[in-house]
Amino acid sequence: MAQYLLKRVGLALLTLVLLSLLIFFAGQVLPGDPGRAILGPFAAQSAVKALDRSLGLDRPLLTQYWSWATGVAHGDLGISYQFQAPVSSFLGPALVLSLKLAAVAFVLVVPLSIIGGVVAAMNRGRAVDRTISVTGLSLTSIPEFVSGIVLIVIFAIGLKWLPVTATPPPGTSPLGQIHYLILPAIPLVFVLFGYIARMARAGTIEALDSDYVRTAILKGLPRSTVIRRHVLRNSLIPIISLFGLDFAQVIGGGAILTESIFNLHGVGQLAADAIGRLDIVVILVVVLLTAFFVVALAAVVDILYAFLDPRIRIAV
């Protein structure tokens, strides 16, 4: 296990370095100028050049990258071009908000999608199976900005059951914060439900058709016991990786539209603002944050595989 973890850490570091190089140099070829984006289209060119020079953008690209990378290695994420403040000062609060939103969304979608997939598999070919499959596909195809606006109109403005915004006032209790996050979490549930339910359905069907399940049934074990001990445990294996990747994407800016609609100043909104202002330092940090979560959760998924299925062994 120690060798496996060392290997994964080494690969993760190499991945982050290569990704940072790619994003950094790709950001340099984007149209526009950070100084112009900050000062506006009517600022004098001399002022734009002076600002670029003060930000260090007149230095060679490798020098700029090395300065930023060495700072990150020492815990300094850099200074935002737009706000002239350390990225860590506003990344932390944004990350906390995105983590809360992702947690609420997954608490809702995980049991719903697994139950839906298992029920569809147990009734494959019947009306229940077709209904769940069509519903999941339909929900997944609805853009988040459409479902978000419809939900606001119905549940926030019309019925007044839930708040319009996802940002609670200062001093709100943890339970009250969840109340503010339920509505923005639902569009994410819609998007994720179809994928996870289909994966759960496929895994359940594969487990039901396996020899060990047939043997358990022939032994006379109750159907509920067979489902709980044999089918569910094995059908969960294919969708664990999906959980990890989706969770990492939501945290790392995958909920940009949702956060914009519900005025949640999370990582997604932070990334959108940075892209609009050509704030390369913030864009780099957000991309690396997403990559970090993907790599870390992939390692956790591999370890969970071994616990869920003893036949799986982690290869070093």
Instruction: List the one residue out of 186, 188, 199 whose CA is nearest residue 133.
Output: 199
CB 108 within 8 A of CB 189: yes
Question: What distance in Å separates the CA atoms of residue 96 and residue 103, rounded to the nearest whole number?
Answer: 10
pLDDT tens readout for residues 71-113: 888 888 888 887 878 888 888 899 999 999 999 999 999 999 9
228-255 burial, b if ≥16 CB within 10 A, otherwise e? eebbbebbbbbbbbbbbbbbbbbbbbbb
Most confident of 155-169, 204-218, 233-247, 294-308: 155-169
CB 190 within 8 A of CB 139: yes
Domains of the chain in sequence order: 2-73 (no CATH), 88-308 (1.10.3720.10)
CB 166 within 8 A of CB 183: yes
Q: Spell out the long-range contacts of 103-106 with Cβ–Cβ below 8 A and sequence spacing 24 or more.
A: 104/178, 104/181, 104/182, 104/185, 105/185, 105/188, 105/189, 105/192, 105/250, 106/243, 106/246, 106/247
Measured from the Cβ of residue 15, the count of other Cβ atoms closer than 10 Å reads: 15
pLDDT tens readout for residues 241-270: 777 778 877 887 667 888 889 988 888 888
193 or 41: whose pLDDT is higher? 193
pLDDT tens readout for residues 198-212: 989 988 898 888 888
